[in-house]
């Protein structure tokens, strides 16, 4: 209210002044008329009255702001290079930080575009061992009947399937999914409860906006078309809103859960089989909390319900608690998820810090070179607060364009990073990677403003406080050279910069060495010309028969898990002659697996086709396992006892149907899970065949190259039924994907490290140049007195190298301090790697040396005769 | 706020001048000189208001929307800026009057105590 009045009046400033002057003139005339001119003289200064009146409206402060602003603009117009350097430096660092924040925002802060996203919770019950639970249809129905916790609950199952040949992530959902979530469609209609009315019915699907755009070319007539998935025709009934890409995990399509049997197979989800208590469920649930029910209250109620549901089960299957995870955002915002993100924030934040330090130093140098001006202002009576305000105005004037530059740079970076990501990812995976929506929103803008404000305070306030702190006498003399404090601040900034540089470069070195370690690993598998072919069970037998006659195919094997996809599955076995059981990596493979990957047999034999089909109680073990299980004996002919583990989901824990098995052969070691973890310490192969259930993969060795083989395979498969393969991945690319994170991390840390190095080097260069010009007189005297050229160079270089040495040492110590966090997580990463430390440290020192050498050359060229004359 | 000691005019408690102006204006719109004159006359020359304090006080009242200003013509046919009290100003006057009386009574009790 008042502020508006002030602003309105400010706009009509001239009118105000005229009115006031006129009014006072009239006042005086009236007074003169009434009292005579003598009396009127007693009124005092009209200017003073005007000034007091103006002060009421706060014009004085606004005036001085405007003055500051005008003065700052004039100053920057005179030195545009300085202004541009500051804007560029801060803008670049801000832009990179904004990019990181955009990603963080997209996953952890931006709520789903649904009705009341904060009421949605993913729920499971947990056993005493902390194991979660997948629900059966019956359990889900029972949960739906529990009133008072959720106002509505939906069940879903995640699938990855090929739709018209495009591999896509999707969800099979209960009929209330879209109504419960509360999100509409861009085209057509959402799935409705009627779609999921009867088991086997509802051959319809809704596509996500992104899938519609990227996989189906944004076809405006897509609604009503039929898309084939796993041989089944599904009618597209709608395209979801662009803002909605699925809860819990990004989905590209939604299909009614009633299509479970035709699309997934196995036992009937709704059939009597699945009502038995021994059936492992497959459904996940998300509910909408009753308005007024707190998550804690819901947790308590659900714990009670789950305890009742599992009351008659053995102890290890009894539910003891409930887990509720908010589904408001793509990734729930918890302490753990924030901790995962924090290394990125720290690394990018440090770069911003370096940029600020650089600019701070530049501002400091600039302020010092204006010491005479400041001195004059002080002696004319300018207060310290007024001076600081003026210097801060200058910073603000730079921070605003820097924020704009930062925003543009972040937009560019995001676009570029997405393009680079798609270009460098192995193609089979680039096709299925989904990108979050990284468009800026209010949170991103808020972040830029906050970050640029904070940056401004750092780079503006420190020099402002420093340079205005000296005494009047000193300031008047223009004598800051003898004042020790700015030098100390400057040195601290340089040391901090070097510290951060060393930290980032050492990290880059560690990651690079890790990447080299991974690529040098002997995987023990020949992945060239091998394709991983994934489809539902019901097609596997037919496909293997068909492909066996295909001329392009050299060998084909079935496997429970294809190798190199990540975590190794473990099973507890008791080797004969030993007392305690050992957890060993394991897999179920058919006899051709070893020839497909060219894993050499060392001793004994591989299972026969008959053993594989019959699931005979025989196993092949790796060399490492043979050594570990029976150190001094021949492994062939020994037996292993397998711990019985009932009620497990075969997707995660598959157990053979027998209790003991004979070791019939030993094969060479191979890496099956994470390459960065190194070779498996022990590995067991159980026999299986394409006729068995629960095999995820068919592994095909083709005669030609993978691409041609893939085409031949697709053609053959399509003859069986349209789009039956979920995905066909060349194993070379699967391997490349394992190395990929290391490449990304390396390029990221190398990029940040280099940026930090360039910023620091240029900062040091600037500081040293400034110092040399400050000490021109001193150096001139030294040279005049006969100082050696080398001594002068050494003097300048030594000064910066001392700072660099302190900074590098601090960086090394700091890296060592955080190293334990990363130790023993991956065999490939050695956070104490001497080479990385040495390399990083020497790179930093070399850069500082180079940066201070040039200014030192300038010092050498100082002519004592000229410098001594100039004062 | 208010007056400086050095000026010949009377000393006011902070805010009192505004109250007097509002009181004056509550009898009808007036210009600056008129306000000063009225206060001086009614106080029988005890309170003399100079422009150095009158105009800043008027600005404060304007800023708080207690008065409005408008150019007009005075009794003796001269151009003058007239101030008019607003509804808010009347409310403020009432309140100030109350607290002033309270204060005055307090001061009186202290002064009269033996």
Give the pLDDT band (50/70/90) at residue B8. very low
Find, among A661, A644, A664, the residue nearest to A575 by Cα.
A661
Q: Residue A366 is encoded by which pair of tokens?
A: 């600039």
Give the ranges where A370-483 is alpha helix by DSSP (H).
371-379, 384-424, 427-430, 442-456, 462-467, 472-477
What's the rounded Cα separation, in Å, for the pair B71 and A22? 11
What's the rounded Cα separation, in Å, for the pair A76 and A66? 15
Min Cα–Cα distance to chain A from B65, Å: 9
In contact, B66 and B86? CB cutoff 8 Å: yes
Identify the H or E element spanning A729. Answer: strand A727-730
Does A185 or A33 have the greater pLDDT score? A185
Give the pLDDT band (50/70/90) at residue A622. very high
Q: Strand pairing partners for A393?
A: none
Whole-angstrom CA distances from B106 to A473, B17, B109, B111, B112 are: 53, 20, 5, 9, 10
Residue B7 has pLDDT above 70, yes or no: no
What's the rounded Cα separation, in Å, for the pair A557 and B31? 104
Min Cα–Cα distance to chain B from A325, Å: 53
**What is the per-residue pLDDT for A121?**
94
Q: What is the DSSP letter of A265?
A: -
Average pLDDT over residues A514-539: 89
Min Cα–Cα distance to chain B from A14, Å: 16
Does A377 or A229 have the greater pLDDT score? A229
Average pLDDT over residues A233-257: 92
Output the average pLDDT for chain A: 86
Q: Do A56 and B60 touch (CB under 8 A)?
A: yes
Whole-angstrom CA distances from A24 to A90, A306, B32 are: 51, 85, 8
Average pLDDT over residues B18-46: 89
| Closest by Cβ to A26, choosing from B8, B69, B80 | B80
Min Cα–Cα distance to chain A from B28, Å: 19
Which residues of chain A lie closer than 8 angstroms to B33, CB-CB?
A: 26-27, 30-31
Q: What is the pLDDT of residues A381-403, one digit of tens each?
A: 777 788 888 888 888 888 889 99
Min Cα–Cα distance to chain A from B24, Å: 17
Strands (E), A257-345: 284-289, 319-326
Q: Residue A377 is encoded by which pair of tokens?
A: 């202002």
What's the rounded Cα separation, in Å, for the pair A196 and A270? 12
In contact, A630 and A638? CB cutoff 8 Å: yes
Whole-angstrom CA distances from B91 to A155, A486, B14 are: 64, 57, 18
Q: Residues with Cβ < 8 Å from B75, sequence gap 6 or more?
A: none
Residue A132 has pLDDT above 50, yes or no: yes
* Mutation target vs B (from A28, A56, A59; most B CBs, 10 A cutoff): A56
* Order of strands, sheet of B67-73, starting from the edge strand that comes earlier in the sequence: B30-31, B79-85, B67-73
SS3 assignment, position A543? helix
Q: What is the DSSP letter of A129?
A: T
Min Cα–Cα distance to chain A from B16, Å: 17
ipTM associated with this complex: 0.80
Q: What is the DSSP letter of A628?
A: H
Q: What is the pLDDT of residues B48-94, one digit of tens each?
A: 888 788 888 888 898 888 999 888 887 778 888 899 999 999 999 99
Count of other CB atoms within 10 angstroms of residue A327: 23
Give the pLDDT band (50/70/90) at residue A475. low
Q: What is the pLDDT of residues A635-691, one digit of tens each?
A: 999 999 998 776 677 777 888 888 899 999 999 999 988 888 888 889 999 999 988
Find, among A837, A667, A740, the residue nearest to A518 by Cα.
A740
Count of other CB atoms within 10 angstroms of residue A213: 14
Chain A residue with the nearest C-alpha to that of B61: A56
Chain B residue with the nearest C-alpha to that of A27: B33
What's the rounded Cα separation, in Å, for the pair A476 and A480? 10
C-alpha B88: how far from its chain's center? 15
Given the DSSP bridges, would you call strands A253-256 and A166-173 parallel, antiparallel or unpaired?
A: parallel
Q: Residues with Cβ < 8 Å from A811, sequence gap 6 or more?
A: A498, A499, A500, A501, A502, A503, A506, A840, A841, A844
* Mutation target vs A (from B5, B55, B74, B82; most A CBs, 10 A cutoff): B55
Q: Do B51 and A52 touch (CB under 8 A)?
A: no
Which residues of chain A lie closer than 8 angstroms to B31, CB-CB?
A: 23, 26-27
Q: Do A5 and B32 touch (CB under 8 A)?
A: no
| Closest by Cβ to A5, choosing from B36, B58, B63 | B63
* Mutation target vs A (from B8, B31, B33; most A CBs, 10 A cutoff): B33
Does A407 or A66 have the greater pLDDT score? A407
Q: Do B33 and A2 touch (CB under 8 A)?
A: no
What's the rounded Cα separation, in Å, for the pair A722 and B51? 96
Q: What is the pLDDT of residues A840-858, one digit of tens each?
A: 999 999 998 888 888 887 7
Q: Do B52 and A44 touch (CB under 8 A)?
A: yes
Q: Residues with Cβ < 8 Å from A694, sequence gap 6 or more?
A: A537, A560, A588, A650, A651, A654
Min Cα–Cα distance to chain A from B100, Å: 23
What's the rounded Cα separation, in Å, for the pair A395 and A119? 44
Q: Do B81 and A23 touch (CB under 8 A)?
A: yes
**What is the per-residue pLDDT for A486?**
59
Average pLDDT over residues A618-635: 93
Q: Do B78 and A26 touch (CB under 8 A)?
A: yes
Count of other CB atoms within 10 angstroms of residue A245: 23
Find, among A341, A747, A337, the residue nearest to A507 by Cα.
A747
Angle among Cα A393, A75, A6 to the nearest 5 degrees reads 40
Q: Do A34 and B79 touch (CB under 8 A)?
A: no
Give the pLDDT band (50/70/90) at residue A225. very high
- Lowest mean pLDDT across A253-267, A556-570, A726-740, B41-55: B41-55
Which residues of chain B lie closer than 8 angstroms to A21, CB-CB?
A: none
Give the pLDDT band (50/70/90) at residue A248. confident
Min Cα–Cα distance to chain B from A62, Å: 16
**What is the per-residue pLDDT for A619?**
95
Question: What own/partner pairs with CB < 8 Å and gap ≥ 24 does A859-864 have?
Answer: A859/A772, A859/A775, A859/A779, A859/A792, A859/A793, A859/A795, A859/A796, A860/A789, A860/A792, A860/A793, A862/A776, A862/A779, A862/A780, A862/A783, A863/A780, A864/A780, A864/A781, A864/A783, A864/A784
Identify the H or E element spanning A97. Answer: helix A80-104
Q: Strand pairing partners for A122?
A: A286, A325
Give the pLDDT band (50/70/90) at residue A41. low
Count of other CB atoms within 10 angstroms of residue A315: 9
Question: What own/partner pairs with CB < 8 Å and gap ≥ 24 does A378-384 have?
Answer: A378/A468, A378/A472, A378/A475, A378/A476, A379/A472, A379/A475, A379/A476, A384/A468, A384/A469
Find, among A737, A759, A742, the residue nearest to A348 by Cα.
A759
**What is the per-residue pLDDT for A404?**
93
Does A5 or A556 have the greater pLDDT score? A556
Average pLDDT over residues A274-289: 78
**What is the per-residue pLDDT for A476?**
53
Given the DSSP bridges, would you call strands A120-127 and A284-289 parallel, antiparallel or unpaired?
A: antiparallel
- The contact set of B with A (CB < 8 A) is 7-8, 31-33, 36-37, 50-52, 55-56, 58-60, 62-65, 69, 71, 78-81
| Helices vs strands, H then E, count in chain A | 29, 21
What's the rounded Cα separation, in Å, for the pair A406 and A356? 14
**What is the per-residue pLDDT for A226?**
94
Average pLDDT over residues A699-711: 86
Q: Do B59 and A53 touch (CB under 8 A)?
A: yes
Q: Do A43 and B65 touch (CB under 8 A)?
A: no
Given the DSSP bridges, would you call strands A204-207 and A232-240 parallel, antiparallel or unpaired?
A: parallel
Q: Strand pairing partners for A153?
A: A287
What's the rounded Cα separation, in Å, for the pair A365 and A770? 7
């Amino acid at each position: 209210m008042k502020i508006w009045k002030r602003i309105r009046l400010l706009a009509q400033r001239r009118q105000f002044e005229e009115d006031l002057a006129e009014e006072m003139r009239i006042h005086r005339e009236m007074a003169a008329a009434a009292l005579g001119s003598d009396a009127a003289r007693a009124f005092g200064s009209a200017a003073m009255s005007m000034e007091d009146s103006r002060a009421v409206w706060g014009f004085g402060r606004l005036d001085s702001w405007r003055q500051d602003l005008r003065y700052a603009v004039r100053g920057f117009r005179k030195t545009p290079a300085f202004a541009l350097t500051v804007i560029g430096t801060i803008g670049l660092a801000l832009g990179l930080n904004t990019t990181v924040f955009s990603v963080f925002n997209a996953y952890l802060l931006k709520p789903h575009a649904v009705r009341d996203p904060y009421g949605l919770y993913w729920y499971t019950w947990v056993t005493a061992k902390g194991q979660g639970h997948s629900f059966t249809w019956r359990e889900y129905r029972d949960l739906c009947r529990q009133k008072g916790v959720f106002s509505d609950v939906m069940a879903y199952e995640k699938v990855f399937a090929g739709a018209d040949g495009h591999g896509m992530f999707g969800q099979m959902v209960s009929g209330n999914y879209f109504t419960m979530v509360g999100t509409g469609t861009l085209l057509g209609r959402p799935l409705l409860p009627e779609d999921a009315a009867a088991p086997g019915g509802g051959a319809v699907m809704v596509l996500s906006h992104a899938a519609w755009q990227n996989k189906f070319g944004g076809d405006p007539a897509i609604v009503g078309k039929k898309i084939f998935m796993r041989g089944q025709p599904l009618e597209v009934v709608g395209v979801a809103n662009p803002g909605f890409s699925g809860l819990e995990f990004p989905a590209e399509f939604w299909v009614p859960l009633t299509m479970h049997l035709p699309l997934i197979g196995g036992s009937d989800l709704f059939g009597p089989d699945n009502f038995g208590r021994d059936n492992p469920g497959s459904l996940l649930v998300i509910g909408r909390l009753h308005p007024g029910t707190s998550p804690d209250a819901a947790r308590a109620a659900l714990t009670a319900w789950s305890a009742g549901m599992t009351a008659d089960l053995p102890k290890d299957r009894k539910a003891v608690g409930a887990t509720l995870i908010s589904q408001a955002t793509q990734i729930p915002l918890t302490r753990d998820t924030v901790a995962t993100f924090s290394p990125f924030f720290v690394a990018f934040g440090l770069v911003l810090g370096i940029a600020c330090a650089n600019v701070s130093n530049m501002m400091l140098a600039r302020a010092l070179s204006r010491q005479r001006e400041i001195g004059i202002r002080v002696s004319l009576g300018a207060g310290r607060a007024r001076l600081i305000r003026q210097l801060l105005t200058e910073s603000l004037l730079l921070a605003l364009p820097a924020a704009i530059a930062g925003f543009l740079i972040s937009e560019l970076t995001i676009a570029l990073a997405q393009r680079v990501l798609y270009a460098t990812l192995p193609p089979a995976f680039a096709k299925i990677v989904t990108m979050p929506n990284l468009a800026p929103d209010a949170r991103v803008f808020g972040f830029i403003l906050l970050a640029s404000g904070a940056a401004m305070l750092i780079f503006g306030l420190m020099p402002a406080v420093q340079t205005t702190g000296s005494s009047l006498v000193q300031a008047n003399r223009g004598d800051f050279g003898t004042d020790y404090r700015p030098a100390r601040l400057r040195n601290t900034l340089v040391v901090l910069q070097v510290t951060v540089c060393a930290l980032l470069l050492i990290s880059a070195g560690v990651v690079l060495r890790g990447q080299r370690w991974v690529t040098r690993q002997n995987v023990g598998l020949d992945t060239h010309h091998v394709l991983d072919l994934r489809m539902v069970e019901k097609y596997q037998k037919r496909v293997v028969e068909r492909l066996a006659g295909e001329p392009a195919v050299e060998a084909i094997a079935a496997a429970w898990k294809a190798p190199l996809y990540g975590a190794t599955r473990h099973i507890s076995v008791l080797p004969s002659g030993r007392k305690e059981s050992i957890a060993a990596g394991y897999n179920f493979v058919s006899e051709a697996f070893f020839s497909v990957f060219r894993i050499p047999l060392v001793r004994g034999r591989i299972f026969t086709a008959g053993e594989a089909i019959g699931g005979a109680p025989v196993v092949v073990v790796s060399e490492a396992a043979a050594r570990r299980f029976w150190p001094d004996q021949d492994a062939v002919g020994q037996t292993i006892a397998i711990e019985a583990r009932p009620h497990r989901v075969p997707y995660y824990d598959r157990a053979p149907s027998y209790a003991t098995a004979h070791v019939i052969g030993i094969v060479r070691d191979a890496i099956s899970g994470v390459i960065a973890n190194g070779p498996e310490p022990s590995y067991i192969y159980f026999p299986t065949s394409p006729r068995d259930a629960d095999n995820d993969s068919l592994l095909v060795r083709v005669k030609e190259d993978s691409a041609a083989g893939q085409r031949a395979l697709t053609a053959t498969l399509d003859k069986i039924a349209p789009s039956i393969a979920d995905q066909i991945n060349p194993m070379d690319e699967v391997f490349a994907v394992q190395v990929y994170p290391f490449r990304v991390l390396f390029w990221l840390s190398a990029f940040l490290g280099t940026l930090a190095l360039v910023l620091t080097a240029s900062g040091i260069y600037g500081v040293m140049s400034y110092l040399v010009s400050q000490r021109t007189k001193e150096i001139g005297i030294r040279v005049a007195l006969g100082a050696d050229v080398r001594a002068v160079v050494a003097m300048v270089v030594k000064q910066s190298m001392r700072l660099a040495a302190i900074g590098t040492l601090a960086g090394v110590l700091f890296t060592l301090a955080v190293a334990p966090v990363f130790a023993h997580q991956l065999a490939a990463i050695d956070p104490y790697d001497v080479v990385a430390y040495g390399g990083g440290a020497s790179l930093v020192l070399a850069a500082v040396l180079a940066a201070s050498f040039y200014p030192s050359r300038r010092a050498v060229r100082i002519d004592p005769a000229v410098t001594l004359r100039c004062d | 706020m208010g007056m400086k000691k050095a000026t010949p005019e009377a000393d006011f408690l902070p805010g009192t001048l505004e109250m007097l102006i509002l009181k004056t204006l509550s009898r009808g719109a007036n210009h600056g000189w008129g306000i000063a004159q009225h206060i001086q006359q009614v106080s029988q020359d005890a309170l003399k208001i100079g422009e150095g304090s009158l105009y800043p006080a008027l600005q404060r009242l304007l800023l708080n929307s207690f008065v409005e200003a408008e150019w007009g013509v005075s009794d003796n046919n001269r151009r003058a800026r007239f101030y008019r009290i607003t509804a808010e100003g009347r409310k403020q006057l009432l309140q100030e009057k109350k607290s002033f009386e309270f204060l005055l009574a307090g001061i009186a009790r202290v002064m009269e105590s033996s």
